A and B are shown apart, each in its own frame.
Chain A
Amino acid sequence: MTDTKSDPTADSVATTDASDLPDDVILRVNHLVKEFPITKGVFFRKQVGAVQAVSDISFEIKKGETLGLVGESGCGKSTTARSVLRLLQPTSGDVWFRLETEDEEIVNVATAKKDTMRQVRRNMQIVFQDPYASLNPRMTVATIIAEPLTVYGEGSKQERLDKVKDLLKVVGLSPEHANRYPHEFSGGQRQRIGVARALALNPSFMVLDEPVSALDVSIQAQVLNLMDDLQDEFDLTYLFIAHDLSVVRHISDRVAVMYLGKIVEMAGRDALYDRPMHPYTHALMSAVPIPDPHIESNRKRMLLEGDIPSPANPPPGCRFNTRCPKAVSGKCDVDEPEFKELEPGHWVACFFPEVEKVY
């Protein structure tokens, strides 16, 4: 049930091979689709349908850049992240990735063989949202951070210990913490441990799946600053996933907005926040509260009607049409809008794109 209807315009960012991958691009995601089967029955599990959690999305990330991926709960952000790392096998589509080897080999993560995948996994790392669930409670911090080194058989024990010590310092913890267990740490400290582990194999690309969402504001700022510093120090490229548009504005160079499995708008950060064109982006921005009473009291909120439809049963036409204030019946609920480049680098999937000031 793969969506084969390719849109011609998107092909300029999304092609079927990577021979034209510009030198400065580290990742190209091309018509990525991820479906989860819906099954029924206990003994004879029969597939009765599919949830298309990620529905034909394409984007690129340049070396050293941060792409923010933002959207509401269930829109497919984590599924995108896991498919890019192939922690989930994509249903279709390609994930071209420039390996940091001598000859900068470009590989398709979606179909790569075992040996290549081992290299890919050293180069790509992920930090998860929940600093409580993502660390093994029975392991010491040192064991957790050294785990990728141990698994890949890197270095002698002393070398690994030295690396753990370095990593602890890099993320702002102290070497004394090495022998303690995760429960002895606060949320922010645990997130630092997760980051240290992700850095252990010197990756070039990191997926940060809501790394600060579970943290208090005062701790959020610490972790955001840490991610900034690490990016500079180690030349890292980030895919930064969040549901908070103000965090995304702070951290990203470019931003992609997702709704119900699709990217509906993608642009450079200033273009997106100053000149948002998709009605969903407008609604999302308009809903974000600003910690400033005068601004808030003068703001006119654009409120959406109803709830997000189930991804198991997305509406026909534009997926946003059931809640869109601009939707035209007979058009938006029938045809799917193309993802078009309306200004250089500014992509929008809407029949009626229009710049709006929303705050």
Chain B
Amino acid sequence: MTEPLLEVDDLRTYFTTEEGIVRAVDGISFSMMPGQRLGVVGESGSGKSVTALSVMGLIEPPAGQIVTGRVMFKGRNLLELDEDELQSVRGGQIAMIFQDPMTALNPVYTIGDQLMETILLHQDVNRSEAREIAIQAIEDVHIPNAKAQMLDYPHQYSGGMRQRIMIAMGLSCNPDLLIADEPTTALDVTTQAQIMDLMLELAEERGTAVMLITHDLGVVAGFCNDLQVMYAGGIVESGTIDDIYYNPQHPYTWGLLESMTRLDDEQQHRLYSIPGSPPSVIDLPRGCRFRPRCGFATEICGQVLPALRPVGNPGQMAACHHAEELNLKELKADAAPTVEPAAATDSDLTDVDLDLQEADVEGIEAQRSAMDQVEGEEGSL
């Protein structure tokens, strides 16, 4: 059997803030095989990016600390490497692309210079060889006139083109692992389709493992082999995409899938919606973190944090005390148990101040006169 490429074991990454300790990633374990394409999905703030940054050694002390855990990559614990050693792994064997390519591209250098710099840093080549590799990398991401494009600056490019350059840069050193953090979230859907298609083609061709971080279960379905679902700093479910889409074991995963609108959905039926919103990772609920939003919760759910354990199909895991009993696969959204909403008190609103502050009155007056000024060229709001 092949060795895993990446093994993350009980990783905990916390941040110290004025409001308290942010337990952004709180005890996650997972592994990736060479060439595997793993999706990491979860709502905003669930700890996806912090997971990626922890693996890359990009958590900034003193506010951010990796308090426990191991990140084994090709037999080495990345958490024990010094900055020099990490530098050579980063961008070389592990590459990362971000949602906003502008944060990673330097506006004052040409595309060519930046590509060549990465290549020279990680490969034992001279400048003219680096140039050849850079041109090839641009061609590989299907940008025409690669030679001429080397002289362009990032701001001359559209969002989609910049993301192509990021992919070119990321793959120029033939990494074993590419971490893509929401690479298409800022792009239009037709551009997203182009970029995902390109990433799939290149990853398959070169056998690159990809960790795709996204909140979009649609994108994962067409790209990944496996998937893990994060909620409030923990992994609540993992498995192959077929396991998870067709046989979800965790109520949160099931709820996410049910609440999605689908292009191919002919019925305008009422959407299932998960009640409430995710907890603050500063003030996590006791027991299962999903309990306040879960219709299946019982007493134990409020007391014991459920461990991620095998359930469902072989290899599938979920962190729910009741996974075996739920049979979520057969559950229809309108038959799902509901959560009692916190009782809303029917207090009278006599003590509420409705008066506008002076500054606000000015603003509203300005807005009002802009609205009223119908002959003028433009109103504003």
What residues on A are CB-neighbors of B379 within 8 Å?
Answer: 86-89
Query: Does any Cβ of A come within 8 Å of B335's Cβ?
Result: no
Report the separation of the CA atoms of residues A32 and B231 in the bound assembly, to the nearest whole angstrom: 46
A112 touches B374 (CB 8 A): yes
The 9 A-B pairs of least Cβ separation, nearest first, read A289-B218, A221-B273, A287-B193, A296-B222, A221-B259, A174-B344, A218-B274, A72-B188, A221-B271
Known: A161-B354, A286-B193, A303-B194. A217 touches B344 (CB 8 A): no
| Chain A binder among B67-75, B123-131, B363-371 | B363-371
- Tell me the chain A residues, 85-140 only, with Cβ under 8 Å from chain B: 86-89, 112-114, 117-118, 121, 126, 136, 138-140
Task: List 6 A-B pairs, Cβ < 8 Å.
Answer: A150-B364, A218-B273, A219-B277, A221-B273, A250-B268, A359-B264
Interface size on B, residues (CB 8 A): 74
What range describes how many residues of A lie at the interface? 35 or more
Known: A174-B345, A221-B273. A295 touches B352 (CB 8 A): no
A225 touches B263 (CB 8 A): no
B188 touches A243 (CB 8 A): yes
| Chain B binder among A20-28, A45-53, A141-149 | A141-149
Q: How far is the CB of B318 from chain A (nearest CB, A)?
A: 17
A118 touches B354 (CB 8 A): no
B368 touches A138 (CB 8 A): no
Query: Does any Cβ of A come within 8 Å of B190's Cβ?
Result: yes
B215 touches A165 (CB 8 A): no
A217 touches B360 (CB 8 A): no
B222 touches A224 (CB 8 A): no
With CB as the reference atom, state the residue of chain B lying closest to A305: B194
Query: Does any Cβ of B come within 8 Å of A327's Cβ?
Result: no
Query: Does any Cβ of A come within 8 Å of B221's Cβ?
Result: yes
Query: Does any Cβ of B come within 8 Å of A354's Cβ?
Result: no
Query: Does any Cβ of A come within 8 Å of B2's Cβ?
Result: no
What residues on A are CB-neighbors of B190 within 8 Å?
Answer: 72, 283-284, 287, 303-304
Q: How far is the CB of B301 from chain A (nearest CB, A)?
A: 18
Report the separation of the CA atoms of residues A290 and B265 in the bound assembly, to the nearest whole angstrom: 10
What residues on B are CB-neighbors of A188 within 8 Å?
Answer: 277
What residues on A are CB-neighbors of B17 within 8 Å?
Answer: none
A143 touches B255 (CB 8 A): no
Q: How far is the CB of B218 from chain A (nearest CB, A)?
A: 3
Main secondary structure of the interface of A (DSSP, over half): helix
What residues on B are CB-neighbors of A289 within 8 Å?
Answer: 193, 196, 216, 218-219, 221-222
Query: Does any Cβ of A come within 8 Å of B148's Cβ?
Result: no
Known: A139-B360, A143-B360. A175 touches B221 (CB 8 A): no
The 8 A CB mask of B237-270 against A (1 = contact, 0 = none) is: 0000110011000000001110111111110101
Known: A174-B344, A243-B188, A270-B266. A292 touches B261 (CB 8 A): no
Report the separation of the CA atoms of residues A286 and B355 in the bound assembly, to the nearest whole angstrom: 51
Q: Which of A112, A161, A296 contacts B352 (CB 8 A)?
A: A161
What residues on A are CB-neighbors of B242 within 8 Å?
Answer: 293-294
Report the separation of the CA atoms of residues A158 and B363 in the bound assembly, to the nearest whole angstrom: 24
- Tell me the chain B residues, 324-381 only, with Cβ under 8 Å from chain A: 344-357, 359-360, 363-364, 368, 371-372, 374, 376-381
Report the separation of the CA atoms of residues A246 and B246 in the bound assembly, to the nearest whole angstrom: 20
B356 touches A291 (CB 8 A): no
Query: Does any Cβ of A come within 8 Å of B113's Cβ?
Result: no
With CB as the reference atom, state the residue of chain A lying closest to B344: A174
Report the separation of the CA atoms of residues A147 and B356 in the bound assembly, to the nearest whole angstrom: 8
Report the separation of the CA atoms of residues A136 and B190 in the bound assembly, to the nearest whole angstrom: 34
Query: Does any Cβ of B come within 8 Å of A69's Cβ?
Result: no
With CB as the reference atom, state the residue of chain B lying closest to A109: B374
Given A136-B363, A179-B351, A304-B193, 4 more contacts at CB 8 Å?
A: A118-B372, A175-B345, A218-B256, A224-B271
